[in-house]
Structure formats: C-alpha cells, structure tokens
Chains A and B, each alone.
Chain A
C-alpha cells in the first residue's frame, strides 16, 4: 500500500472518530481519492444553518501537492465562484503544506465563510456587492443558504413562493428597482442581469444614472 493511500485512509478514519469538529468526509464512489467533504455553516454568519458540501480530488503527489477542492453547494461569497464553486484560498495554492490535512483544510474553508477577503476575489461581482453594501450582501448570502444549503426557513416555503421573487433575491437586488425598469418594457431576466452587473445596490443606486441602465438594457 503506498504512502498516499495510507495517509488518506488514516485521515478519513480520524475524521470519522472526531465527533467534535462537525466535519464529515464521505466516499463518493469506491475510490478513496475522490471524496465529498461537508460542514455546517459557521454561526453568526449569513451561512449559519446551512450544510455545505465540497468536492475533494486528491492528486497523485498528495500530500506534497495541494488537494483540489471546490464547493458543490452554491455559495454566495466573494472568494467562491458563484457559478463553478471554485475557491480562492491561499492554502489551496502557494501556501499549501503537506502537514495540512483534509480536515484542517475543510476547517479553513469553514473559517473562510466567516471572514471573506474581498480584495482577493474569486467572484468579482459578489466582491463588488460585498464592498458596496454589507447588509444587502448578507441578505443575499442568507437567501442562497436557504435555497441551496438547506438553511433555516427553507422547508417547503421557498417552493411555494413565486419564482420571480427568487430570481431577484438570488441576484441580491431590490424588487422595486427591477419592477421600475420592467415597467419600461424590458424583459425581467435582462433587467436582473444588467442591474446585477452594474452592482445597482445600496449607495451605488444614487450614483448610477437611470439613462446608463437603459443604455445597457438597449444593447
């Protein structure tokens, strides 16, 4: 049995035996080198109550090369791509050390959710939203946690709501703003797309001229 397999097996066992950390590592298929990690969203953050799953691929030269991780669960966070789940975290790149384990790396992801780093973003739009209005960002992140990560208030309620409301909340926008431009005769999905891209939120609303938005909508 090679060293890599021995170490990964030990890590999986250790993680199973450790009940205090709330970190889980499960096999996806029969290979011990493709795993699924999961952890609860940290308390006192918009991710609280959510359950986040991470795709884990262990490279051939593990633990000397960093483990590959990305979120399976959709997360609204400046350092996580909202589309692909790719993660921007130094220990997954240059700052990786062979002493780090799957568990400690998952714990680092959990704490990344506590402390976003908008200056080194993986998702530029989310990062802009974060720096423009923290309150509005939190709301959107909480909404994503409800919808995608099974956060509080998700049970049955979301499905019964009209889907249009969801789209606006997912994009982190105000319903009144979307309605305003939809009333001008533009398609709702296009309005959402443009407002999201222009970061039409919080204090920015006053700075962006309506003409500019219409111009964008006409493109």
Chain B
C-alpha cells in the first residue's frame, strides 16, 4: 500500500513538471508565432496550430494533374498550371498533449487538415508519421514542428521539390486549385505589406505599409500622403507626364521614353488604379481630362470648339488636298454642331471674307483715334456710359500689352504653338508640353538626336549663337555674354522679339 502511494506521488510530481513545461513551451511559441497559435486551451492539453507556409522568396509552384478524375484522358494527365508564389495555404494541426508530454510521450496528432486540400491525402499521412518521429523524450517538439512546416522544409521530405527550381503539387483538378493558391498568396502578401514598416523616400519618415502604396510597374514604395501631394501638384499644374513613380531611375527612364517619340505616349506613367488609391475624384477627373487633351493635342490641326460650354476638340475634316482654299478654315463641332472659322474662332463667315476684327476692338480703336476730351468722344461716352467705355478701353489696352509682351518675350513652340518664355540657359529648348526640340532664337524645329548641330554648323543663321540671346543680361548666357559687345558688329541677327507690335 505504501509503495503504491509513493508511486502515485511520483506520478503527481511528474504530471506537475510536465504541465509546467507545456505551459512554458506554449508561451514561448505564442510569442514567436502569434499568428499560428489559434487555441490556448493548454490547461486541458488541447492545442490547435494553424501554420501558413512562408517560402521566404517567390518560387515556381506547379499544380500537376494527377489524372485521378479522368484517368482515361491522356490529354489532361500530366498537364500543369504554374505560378510564382511565396506562400501556401495553412495546415491546421489539432493536437492533444498527454499529461506526461514532453518527458515521456509525444503529442498526439488528433487531426491534420490542409486548407483547400492542396496537399494530397497520402502525403498528409507521410507528413504525420514524420512529425511523430521528430519527438525526442524530454524535449518540446511544438516549435520544431511549426518551423518545419512554416519554412516549407517538409515539402522536401515529401518529395515535392525533386527539381529544386519548382515545387510540384499533384491534384485532381489543377484549374480549381491554382486560383485558390494564387488568392492566398496575394492576400498573404498584402497583409505582410500592410504590417511592414517602410521609410518613404520623399518625407524621409517611416510609415506602416497600410499608409503606403507599392507601384505596380516598378515595385517602389512611397507613403500615400507624399504621392497625393506630388501627383496632386502635377495634376494641378497640368504636368500630366510627371504623374508616375517619383524614383530618380524611373523619372529618367520616363523622360527618355517620352522624348523618344509618340510610341511612348504615357510611358512610365501610373495607371488609374494607382491614382485612384491616392487622389480624390476631382483630381482624377482632371487627370483623365489632361491625358485625353494631351493625346488630342499631339495632332496640331486640332481646334477646340469656341463655345465656352462646349470646348470639344474638333479635328480637321478630311480635305481634298486643297489647303489654300477658304473652305479649309471651316470647322463644325461634332458635339454642339456650331460651325466656325478655325482661324478667328468666330461664327463661320464664308470662304471668301477675311476674318473680322471684333466689334469692341474696332470700336475702341475708333474712340482712341479721336482727340482726348473732344466733343466726339464726349458723345460716345454719353451714348454708352463713361464707365463702360473706360472698361472697354482698359480691357483693350491690357490685351494689347499682353500681346506685346508675348511677342517680345516669348517664342512659340513650333510643335504645339504654346508660347514659351526662357528664364535661364541656352537657346536649345525642349518643349515641356510636346517634347519638341527647338531653337529659342529663330523658333525652328531642331533634331532631338543632334540638337547642337543647329548652333555648330557654319553657315546656318544660328551658328555659334547657342548663348548670345540674353535680353536680361543676367543668368546663364552671361559667360558667353561677356564678349557680346565686341561681337555686335559681326553678323548680329536682330531677334523678332524686338519688332514693334503693328497696330
């Protein structure tokens, strides 16, 4: 009797020691793999583990038809679907820890289930046997198990990686399993992304992935706030070509591709999906409009409908080759059916009559031609109201001043007609809008492949004039400008900018 009691006592002590060891092991496991430990009914010895397979890097996964459904059809047997994946759906382990685990007994595997059944039944059995064999008396085996499954090492044991470059999964219906594996991989990736911390290269501050965006084309990551500021500014300024990845390499590639020509239309820019994740509806509408506008403006014969509410781009109608005829000026808006002259943007005035001066313009000119404080002026003022006349005159003078300024200090891009003012630098210009290379001195198109030939070929009118045109006398041209005084007597060409505006 007394001997028996002694044994019972030993048993109790043993159970107590084992329980403590089990608790400790569970706590450690929970702190290392919080996502894997789904049940903590550890006091009763019941444990459930859900272990996803993280391959660590992207590997080729081939789901191979095992021919079990249609063994007769040799066409499908052996066919496979391949994907590049970095994680596989989890294995669910239900375990019971005996009261003398880990000292004298291994954990009992109650069940081993595989999400989406991607692992074939015979292999699950093999795996189960292998797991049981890993236990050594006196040592906890839960951590080695989790690590063995999580890392995907068990796939090798199961003979699924005979070809080291690809993991082969036999399955009765690859076309059903492959999309499930892909979906798991995508979900796992985005949750990893959301939890990882990234340093945004723009604000130089760390952000959780959830506040960041990874660009699809190049995989660069930036915080959404910075992308919103950057793209928002580009869209506000109408610089739609810069709505892309801000990384210097990507910027350079984009510049090169867009300069290379029309084929790279929008090359290196981001798509609507990405813009939508960062910006609001208002910006997106403008962004889309800018892209559309840019595409249309590549065609220099395009004219916008002058109706303020309409503004639809109107292409040149197919002509019979006679561009000299007055009819070439006629445009009819496809949207509002307004017929107008492409030159003066007024209602169609026929193929023969010249474009009319605006009524107010000729009225103001007439008024200004009269001597100041003459009775004729007073009559006009009384008829239309002094304030009205003063307003028209002011508007006319402002318009004149604007035109004068534009003529004097800007050059028209020969590609898209936009007026460009040069603040600093040499006379080789690249249009920010249409990427046309041109000479700021004479307004001629120059070849993108060898732009300096225009300035370095003796005999051309801009020969050795890469720098000499610098009306402000300040800035970049000054280095060359030092000697300008002495050059003046040479064949100095007078720029058109100095022409008087002809009234």
A interface list, Cβ under 8 A from B: 3, 6-7, 10-11, 14, 61, 63-64, 81-84, 86, 88, 91, 94-101, 119-126, 193-194, 196-197, 216, 219
Contact = CB atoms under 8 A, between A and B. Distances in A.
Contacts of B247: 97, 99
Given A95-B255, A99-B202, A196-B483, A3 B229 contact: yes
Contacts of B233: 61, 64
Given A81-B479, A84-B479, A98-B246, A122 B226 contact: no
A7 B229 CA distance: 14
Nearest to B202: A98
Contacts of B476: 81, 84, 86, 88, 122
Contacts of A84: 474-476, 478-479
A82 B479 CA distance: 5
B202 A122 contact: no
Contacts of B466: 121, 124
A14 B203 CA distance: 13
A95 B481 contact: no
A32 B10 CA distance: 76
A96 B479 contact: no
A11 B202 CA distance: 11
Contacts of A126: 479
Nearest to A11: B204
Interface in B195-231: 201-205, 225-226, 229-230
Contacts of A88: 425-426, 476
B244 to A, nearest CB: 10
A121 B233 CA distance: 31
Contacts of B1: none
10 contacts: A6-B205, A7-B202, A10-B205, A63-B202, A97-B250, A98-B201, A98-B202, A99-B248, A124-B466, A219-B486
B251 A10 contact: no
B348 interface: no
Contacts of B86: none
A95 B477 CA distance: 22
B204 A219 contact: no
Contacts of A11: 204
B482 A83 contact: yes
Contacts of A100: 248
Contacts of B459: none
Contacts of B202: 7, 63, 98-99
B472 to A, nearest CB: 11
Nearest to A91: B248
Contact of B480 (A7, A120, A123): A123
A95 B424 CA distance: 17
A14 B201 CA distance: 13
B293 interface: no
Interface string B224-264: 01100110011000000000001110111001000000000
Given A197-B486, A219-B486, A86 B246 contact: no
B205 to A, nearest CB: 8
B246 A97 contact: yes
A10 B200 CA distance: 13
Contact of A10 (B204, B424, B478, B489): B204
Interface string B455-487: 000000000101100000011111111110011
A196 B477 CA distance: 16
Contacts of B250: 97
A8 to B, nearest CB: 10
B154 interface: no
B367 interface: no
B22 interface: no
A116 to B, nearest CB: 14
B452 interface: yes
B87 interface: no
Given A86-B476, A95-B255, A121-B426, A7 B248 contact: no
Residue of A64, A95, A193, A216 contacting most chain B CB atoms (<10 Å) = A64
A40 B203 CA distance: 28
B430 interface: yes
Given A64-B230, A101-B204, 14 more contacts: A64-B233, A83-B479, A84-B478, A86-B475, A86-B478, A94-B255, A94-B430, A96-B251, A97-B250, A99-B247, A100-B248, A123-B480, A124-B426, A219-B486
Nearest to B231: A64
A58 to B, nearest CB: 14
A194 B485 CA distance: 11
A163 B234 CA distance: 52
Nearest to A14: B204
Contact of B479 (A91, A95, A124, A193): A124
Nearest to A10: B204
Contacts of B226: 3, 98
Contact of A123 (B203, B255, B479, B489): B479
Nearest to A217: B486
Contacts of A125: 479-480, 483
Contacts of A81: 475-479
A122 B479 contact: yes
A49 to B, nearest CB: 24
Contact of B486 (A86, A95, A98, A194): A194
Contacts of A193: 482-483, 486
Nearest to B450: A119
B203 A3 contact: yes
Nearest to B489: A219
Nearest to A190: B486
A166 B72 CA distance: 96
A98 B230 CA distance: 8
A219 B248 CA distance: 50
Contacts of B251: 95-97
Nearest to A81: B479
Nearest to A126: B479
Contact of A197 (B255, B467, B483): B483
B304 to A, nearest CB: 27
